[in-house]
Chain A
Amino acid sequence: MNTDTHAAHADHHHDDHSHGSLSTYLLGFVLSVVLTAIPFWLVMSGALPSKQITALVIMAFAVVQIVVHMIYFLHMNTKSENGWSMMALIFTIVMVVIALSGSLWVMNHLNSNMMPIHEMTGMK
């Protein structure tokens, strides 16, 4: 067990110095440029007929680009730091999803449960 952990430490120091190569950085960059250019073009030209579809498509592009950045620029993988950085990332994503969807959901309901303005003006 003792030798195992020392070996793990040696591994850790090894992968500190092997973060990415020229080809992975360039691949990540090209992917990011494409994934940035398409949503800007979609919105600026109005190529898709419906705004709702455009919104969904550009949100999908954003998610894909975030994953590309995580892999090619931030070098995320399941092995770095013995998996602890992935663990922290997953925990954060769960927290972010709860905070975002929870806030939007609650506040949206709050808005729709408010007394409409025209009824209030009628009560004067």
Chain B
Amino acid sequence: MTIAVNPTQSGEPLFYLADEHPHPEGYSTSLGFWIYLMSDCLIFAILFATFGVLGSNYAAGPAPKDLFDLSLVAVNTSMLLLSSITYGFAMLTMAQNRIGQTQMWLAITGLFGLAFIGIELTEFAHMIHEGATPQRSAFLSAFFTLVGTHGLHVSCGLIWLVTLMVQVWKFGLIEANRRRLMCLSMFWHFLDVVWIGVFTFVYLLGVLR
């Protein structure tokens, strides 16, 4: 962008964009989406801070040691990690214009994501069945809010994934769909980054306490 300082007119400088050239569609989408993810990161930071403050207030209720099954969390973590790498494969095959393989990797990513959500909901159901509901203690309120918000994000990611698979199926790997898949890629990998914080600070440090 050129800022015009026009010397010909009475020596007074003019500060405005002299050549507002057109940008191609979606040229700023990835930066804009990145900034959205950063704002999402702040939401999670606040939920982590809440958990950090309230995480040891059990109100004589169950503690992490009584509730968490680390081997289940390890399986869940590997589901999310595998879905990250399969999404990476989808992006690589998209770059090579292999639409069938892209769709296949997207579907596999979706299945891993679905497995993650399924295991998480099973864990939640088990906890609630044992009386460890969000109302039980401040620790459990903070736990369900933080982990639930992450799970909600993954669920939204799954809906988005299915939507994009339909888009790719109907319109092919057009420029707009490539851009959308790029955004979902950032979203998906970002959720995996948040999960690193969840399994470390909530599950591992919780059991250690």
Q: Which residues of A come within 8 Å of B, CB atoms?
A: 1-2, 5-6, 9, 12-13, 16-22, 25-26, 28-29, 32-33, 36, 39-40, 43-44, 51, 54-55, 58-59, 61-62, 65-66, 69-70, 73-74, 81, 84-85, 88-89, 91-92, 95-96, 99-100, 103-104, 107
A16 touches B182 (CB 8 A): yes
CB within 8 Å: A-B pair count: 131
**B73: chain A residues within 8 A (beta carbon):** 40
Count of B interface residues, CB-CB < 8 Å: 52
CA distance A18 to B205 in the complex (A): 38
A29 touches B84 (CB 8 A): yes
CA distance A61 to B186 in the complex (A): 22
Known: A1-B2, A36-B81, A74-B189. A62 touches B34 (CB 8 A): no
Known: A43-B204, A85-B31, A103-B49. A33 touches B81 (CB 8 A): yes
* Chain A binder among B111-119, B158-166, B192-200: B192-200
| B190 touches A (CB below 8 Å) | yes
Q: Which residues of B come within 8 Å of A, CB atoms?
A: 1-2, 19, 21, 23-24, 27, 30-31, 34-35, 38, 41-42, 45-46, 48-50, 52-53, 70-71, 73-74, 77-78, 81, 84-85, 88-89, 91-92, 95, 182, 185-186, 189-190, 192-193, 196-197, 199-201, 204-205, 207-209
B46 touches A99 (CB 8 A): yes
CA distance A59 to B201 in the complex (A): 8
A96 touches B42 (CB 8 A): yes
B34 touches A85 (CB 8 A): yes
A-B contact pairs, 13 of them (CB 8 A): A5-B2, A20-B92, A22-B92, A28-B88, A29-B84, A32-B81, A36-B199, A44-B70, A59-B200, A62-B196, A66-B196, A70-B193, A99-B46
Least CB distance from A1 to B in Å reads 5
